[in-house]
Every structure is written in C-alpha cells, then in structure tokens.
Structure 1
Amino acid sequence: MHDRAEYREVADPGGLAVLSANFRDHSFVPHCHATYVLGVVDAGEGATTYQGRRHVAPTGAVMLINPGEVHTGAPASVERGWRYRMLYPSIALVERHVGAICGKEAFRPRFRAPVIHDALLATLVSDLHSALTSPTPVRSQHKLFDRTIRHLVTGHMAGVLDEDPRDPCPRPVTVAKAYLCARIAEPVRLTALAAHVALSPFYFSRLFKKHTGMAPYVWLEHARIVRAAGLLRLGRRVSEVAQLTGFSDQAHLTRRFKRVVGVPPGAFVRGLRRDLPSPLHPELEPAARMALDRRHAPAG
C-alpha cells in the first residue's frame, strides 16, 4: 500500500474541507486546526495522542477533534495502515447549524473526543463525505450535514468551547508567541526566547507547553506551516513560500507541510477555494499577507 491523500475545499456548504487518505508510513506531528475535525476510519486502525494519552480508532470508529486541540495522527500498526475520510467544518458553519437545531442563539459546541463508537454517526459521516465528493444535489448535502450535526449535538456534546477550563494564557507565553510570529523566518534559540520573557529556559519550556500543548520549537514550526498555507492561498510559489517561512528550501517545506496538512503544498493548492479560510490554526494566517507587504514594500 502506498501512502496517498487528497485534500479539497467544497463550495457548498461554505466553510468545509474534506480529506481522503490511505496511509501506512505517514504520521502527523503535533498540530491543531481552526476547524472541527470529524472523520470515519474505513479500514485498518488509526492512533492519535490527545491530552497526553494514546487513543486507537478501529475500523468503523469516528474520530473527532475540537478546534484548537493539539493532537497527532498515525496508523496504529504500520503493517495494516489505515484508510480514513475527514471533514473540516468551520466554527462558523457549525455555529449556524447548532443555533438552528437548538432554536436559540448560535454557540460553539465542544464535543467528546477523540474517538467515538457510534455506528449511526459513522454512517452519517461516511454518507456526508461521499455526498460532498461526488455529484450530489446541494440540498441533499445540506440535509446530510444538518443530520450529522444534529446527531452530534444530541448525543455527543460535552459543553461549550468558550468555557475553557484551563487557566488564562500567562503573559510570558503570549509575549513569546508574538516574538516567534514576528521572527517566523529566522532561527530562534530557546535561550534567547526565554531571556526575552525573563524566565529560565527550563521553566519557560514547561510553561509554554502547558498552555499551548506544544514545545516552543514545535509551535514555531506549526506557525510556519500555517503562515505557508496563507501564502499559498495568496498564490505565491512554493519556493518563495519556503524562503518566507524559514525553511531551507522547497523540499524542506514540502516534507514538513505534509506532516501537518497530510498533503504536500502542490496538492494543497489544487484543492483550494481561495474564498475560504485555511483549515489550520487561527491567528497566524493574516500575517502571511503582512509578510508579503513587508517583502514587496518600495524602498525609501
């Protein structure tokens, strides 16, 4: 079995992307998304590390990750691999449907994660993915999406995303993230980053990981990938994007990009709808345009 995957953003309902993948050797590094992640395992078994624990999703299981939650992904066994299909609905899209379902003001649901054993939900997710990737009337797609979200809300909702049980992000972590984003194409040493927030490297690393779910160097690479996705969406060449985001060359960017997104940059671009947000993580993509503005600003 050869690793292969296809990524595509769909036109209707807007704010939704899909991924079909068949992996034996490929694994995802710790990352998160600005969207919900909802999928079904069609064959084999997948594994994800989520909130410090390894979870296995067998054939027929549903995988669900809430926005902003750090996780990994890989086959549970390289001998068997796994084949799966994922949906990436935007927060806004889910909010609209949840509001209509509950008959009140829209809110951001938090669902049980990351592995759900629910045969009906698996069928709904499978049917919805098939409808979105084949010639299916838009009305049928909308009905399937509504049924899927309705079943999630009534059977698997665990709270509201805005109810964050963690402590507020401390100022040193916020400052460090801003520092990294401002120097995204530069090599940054841990000692310099810790000194910038007046903490020891050891204490700073522990604090940063506690509140972001990633070590500082992992968070920086994730930020670079998100910035790269934003630049690709703006139509920039892959080689230029690699230079703007701190990768040594196009091949380096391609390897690292695939370990977060699941497909290389070229395949990502082919699946884009440029009027939709990137299905990666939040606050960094606008900085892609700023990076271009600085690069192409007239001298003087």
Structure 2
Amino acid sequence: MMQSAARPDRPPPTAAFPVIDRLDTTHASITRMRCDEPGGLPPAPVIASQDAFSAIVQLRPFAAHTLWRDGRQVFAGGHAEGALAITSLQQSWRCHHRASFDNVRLQVGCDELQAFAREHGARAPISLRNPEGDTDAVMLSLARAFLPSLEMPAQASRLFLDQLANAMLAHLVAHYGSASVHMLKTATLSRRQEALAKEYLVAHAGEDVSIEMVAAHCNLSRSYFIKAFKQNTGVTPYRWLLEHRIEQSKGLLRQGIPISEIAARSGFSDQSHFTRIFSGVVGIPPAKWRNRNDL
C-alpha cells in the first residue's frame, strides 16, 4: 500500500511545521502541504534543482507569498482557490509562505513527462508552460480526489492513484504542453484484451497492482488502456475491480461469515475500510445488506 510522509501522531501545523502528506504513484509523486497559521511559515531554503516539473493547485485561497527563481524575485502576492502554477525544477526556487495555505502538487520527472507525451503522439520534446496562477477547475477537482488517499494511505489503491495521476498528466500535457499532442477521443479493447485485463485484475485482486502492469499484460500503453477499458466496460479498471470485489463479498455475507473476516478475505485493510467502500458502492452498510438478504 501507499506510504505517507506524515504520521498519525504528527504535530499540529505551526509557523515552523507545516503538515505534509505524500504518495508515490507509478510515475509521479503527489504531495499535500498545508499550514493554518495566519502568518504562514518562515522563509524556506532554496529548493535544489532537479530534472522534473511541479504542478501546484491551491485548495483554498492563499493570501500572500513571495517566490524567487534562480535568486531573483519573480512573484509577490496571492492566489485564488483552484489557482495552478507549473514550475520547471531544473531552475532553483525559494518560497516564503506569508499566509495560511493548503495545496496539492504533482511532481513528474522530465523523462516520464517525455514518455507520456510520446504516447500521445508528440514528435518533439515537450515542456509545460506556467499559467501563472490562473484557476483550473479540472486540476482542482483531480487534486481533491487525491485527498482521501493522502489522509488514509493504508487504504489507498495504486490502480486508483495511477488513474488520477494519468488524468492530471493528460490534462497538463494537452492544455499547457509546448508541443502538439493527440489525445485519443476513443479507444477500444478486443474481446481477448478485455478478457485478459479482467482475468489479470481478478487474479491479482489482493495485490497493489498498477495500471501499467495491467496494460503491459495486454501489450498496450497505460494511457490507451485506461481509455479503452472504460470505453468497453463503462467504468475505470479500479471501479470495475472494486465492484467485482464487492460482488464477491456479497456471497460471503450470505454465508454468515463475520464482516471482519470478509474484509480480510476481500483484500480490504480492515472492517471499517470494507464497510466504507461497500456502503459507497451498494448504498447501505454490509450488515444492513445482509439483514435484507438474510438466509
């Protein structure tokens, strides 16, 4: 399962200690950083340059901060909720957060970004332009979708995280990329490919498999596979597997097996995780479903 940089016993956010939660997907890292102190944080040290891009989405209004690039001040001011900033980390950056803030950032290596763009037909190396704080509703929605996994990393699914990260990368490349790409409108799986994907998902239901692993089993790129699987089935691979596991659990519920044991057999981290997912998919908790469909 995914690991978080912050622990349950972490100190509350203060002017010196922001709360940081981090998850690694197969091809990118996702970090949530927040501080509720009105005065923000002391000036941060310089971020060492690295071969990567960072895309930061503000989850709430951010009143004031100052930003330096390669030692020169390039911004002083605030951002609205949903504001997006994209930076090349090949340059050195330093930031002074002068107010409370809450944001989610995706960091992707340049090699991974180029590989992703090539999957979509980019014929030249690609970079990402900075929208300079313009709001982006799509990125805000995707950032918020990561929050439950960031808060409960032990219950996070790599399939789900990979799908979200893939959607973020697709949006960034299509809307802020420096080179033309061809985002597939439609894609389909053959009957054999669909069967292979479903068989692989079921066979590895108890493991933390990635989108890339399932796509490779079908000899497809991850981006094509995600679109094609949804076109064929109407749902993402993560949702299909989740619904399959819930259907399997219903059979165990009918047998009168304790819910805690069903949770373990079905690959959920604990009974509360199973109950939350079952309720979300079926509409009622497993105990209530069993009473309605009892023996």
TM-score (norm 1): 0.43
Tell me which structure has the larger Cα radius of gyration. Answer: 2
TM-score (norm 2): 0.44
State the structure with bigger RCO (CA 8 A, min sep 6), 1 or 2.
1
